[in-house]
Amino acid sequence: MSKAHRGKGIRDLPHYGRGTCARCETKNIKALYEVEIDGKKVNVCKKCNAALNNAKKATVATETAKESAE
């Protein structure tokens, strides 16, 4: 399995992919995940990427539950 966010995969990035997370404002963290927030593509850390993905899944699940209840 590929490990694109570790070692050799991030060597060519500035500061080895480290910077400030656009969502949680944590400094000197690997912000490697590009997501769209408010119509802008920004880089976020691993924890914020997981939180955003879980929020998307939760909204889809509630919408599906509402449709099946009708």
The answer to the question of residue 1 being in a domain is: no
Expressed as residue numbers, the domain containing 59 is: 7-69
2 belongs to a structural domain: no
Choose among 41, 37, 12, 15: nearest CA to 28: 15
Domain assignment present for 16:
yes
- The HSE-up count of residue 61 (CA atoms within 13 Å, CB side) is 6
Q: Nearest CA to 51 among 28, 64, 67, 33? A: 33
The number of domains in the chain is 1
**Interval 21-68: pLDDT, tens:** 999 999 999 999 999 999 999 999 999 999 999 999 998 888 888 777
Asked whether residue 51 is domain-assigned, the answer is yes
User: How far is residue 56's CA from residue 33's CA, in Å, rounded to a whole number?
Assistant: 16
Query: What is the tens place of the pLDDT at every residue in 24-36?
Result: 999 999 999 999 9
